[in-house]
Amino acid sequence: MQPTITPASPDGPPLAQRDLIAGEQFLREVFSRFLNFKTHSLYFPRAADDPAAGGFGPDFSQAVHLPAERKVLIPLAEAGRLLGVFVARGANLSAPRTLLPLLPRVAAMALAQARLARAVATDPLTGLARGEELLRALSREVELVQDRILPGSSSLVDPGLAGPRGGFGLAVVDLDYFSRVSGQHGFLAAEAVLAEVGALFGRLSPQQGLASRLHDDLFGFFLPGASAARCREAAETFVRELSRLTFPVAATGESFRLTASAGCAAYPQDMRGGQFVAPPAEQARILLRKAKKALAVAKDLGRDQAMACHRILAEGGVVLETLPLSRLSVGLGRFADAEPGQRFLVWSPRNERPRDIRKSDGERVSGRSPTVIKGEIVLMEVAEDMAFAEVLQLADPHLPIEAGDRLLLASQAGDEAPPAGEPAAPPRRDKVSGLYEHRDFLRLVAADREKQAAHAMALVLLPVSAAERRQGRPAEADMAEAAAACRAHFGQDALGGRFSASKLVFYLPGRAAAELREAAEGALAALSDCLGAPAALGLAGHPCLDYSRADVPENCRKALDHALLLPKGPKLAVFDSLSLTVSGDRLFAMGDIYAAMEEYKQALLADDTNSLARNSLGICLARLGRLEAARAEFTRVIGGDPKNTMALYNLGCVCRRLSETKAARGAFRKCLRADPGHVYSLLRLGRMAEEDRRFETARKYYRQAMECRDGPQLTLRHLARLAFARGRRDEAREHLHQALVHDPRDAFSLHLMARLYLEEGQDPAIAEAMARQAAALRPERPEFWRELARACDAQGKAEAAREARARADGV
Domain membership of residue 285 (yes or no) is yes
- Residues 318-337: pLDDT tens digits? 999 999 988 999 999 888 88
Q: Check whether 517 has a pLDDT greater than 90.
A: yes
85 occurs within a structural domain? yes
Same domain assignment for residues 289 and 322: no
705 within a domain of the structure (yes/no): no
CATH number (domain holding residue 528)? 3.30.70.270
* Distance between CA atoms of residues 72 and 89, nearest Å: 7
User: What is the pLDDT, as a whole number, of residue 155?
Assistant: 45
Residue 347: CATH number of its domain: 2.40.30.230
Lowest mean pLDDT among 93-97, 274-278, 530-534: 274-278
Tell me if 721 is assigned to some domain.
no
Q: State the average pLDDT over residues 200-224.
A: 90
Q: Both 182 and 256 in a single domain? A: yes
Residues 377 and 520 in one domain: no
Top-confidence residue, 604 or 58: 604
Looking at 575, 597, 628, the residue that finishes a domain is 575
DSSP state of 470: S
- Domain range for 343 is 317-354+369-409
How many Å apart are CA 346 and CA 348, to the nearest integer?
A: 7
Residues 110 and 133 in one domain: no
> Cβ of 165: how many Cβ atoms within 10 Å?
21
Judged against a pLDDT cut of 70, whether residue 632 lies above it is answered with: yes
103 and 159 belong to one structural domain = no
**Rounded mean pLDDT, 473-484:** 76
Instruction: Give the three-class secondary structure for 20.
Output: helix
Average of per-residue pLDDT values in the chain: 85
Is 325 found in the same domain as 301? no
End position of a domain, from candidates 528, 549, 575: 575
Is there a single domain that holds both residue 247 and residue 336?
no
Q: How confident is residue 669, by pLDDT bands cut at 50, 70 and 90?
A: very high
Q: How many CA atoms lie within 13 A of 801 on its CB side?
A: 12
Q: What is the pLDDT of residue 169?
A: 93
Query: In the 3-class helix/strand/coil scheme, how is 204-260 assigned residue by residue?
Result: HCCCCCEEEEEECCEEEEEEECCCHHHHHHHHHHHHHHHHCCCEEECCCCEEECCCE
Whether 217 and 347 share a structural domain: no
Do 159 and 230 share a structural domain?
yes
> What is the pLDDT averaged over residues 437-452?
87
Return the number of other C-beta atoms located less than 10 Å from residue 235's C-beta: 32
Q: Is residue 761 part of a domain?
A: no
Assign 264 to helix, strand or coil.
strand
pLDDT in tens, 744-774: 778 889 999 999 888 887 778 888 988 988 8
Report the alpha-carbon distance of residue 208 to residue 738 in Å, rounded: 19
222 and 241, same domain (yes or no): yes
Domain-terminating residue out of 100, 121, 142: 121
Residue 668 in any domain: the answer is no
| Contact call for residues 314 and 409 (beta carbons, < 8 A) | yes
The contacts of residue 508 (CB under 8 Å, 6+ apart) are: 455, 456, 457, 458, 490, 491, 494, 495, 516, 541
Judge whether residue 655 has pLDDT over 90. Answer: yes
Averaged over 125-133, what is the pLDDT? 90
Asked if residue 246 has pLDDT above 70, the reply is yes
Asked which of 351-365, 466-480, 496-510, 683-697 is least confident by mean pLDDT, the reply is 466-480
Q: Residue 726 falls within a domain, yes or no? A: no
pLDDT on residue 3 = 40
Q: Which of 216-230, 422-436, 466-480, 660-674 is modeled with the greatest confidence?
A: 660-674
Are 78 and 178 contained in the same domain?
no
Task: With a cut of 60, say whether residue 700 has pLDDT above it.
Answer: yes
Q: 249 forms bridges with which residues in the sheet?
A: 254
Encode 779-807: b = buried (16+ Cβ within 10 Å), e = exposed: eebeebbbbbbbbbbbeebeebbeebbeb
- Give residue 240's pLDDT: 93
Report yes or no: 435 and 503 within 8 Å, Cβ to Cβ.
Answer: no
- Indicate the helix (H) or strand (E) that contains 394: strand 387-394
The domain total for the chain is 4
Q: Are residues 264 and 143 in the same domain?
A: yes
Contact criterion met (CB below 8 Å) for 35 and 103: yes
CA 42-47-52 angle, 5° bins: 50
277 domain residue, yes or no = yes
pTM of the model: 0.73
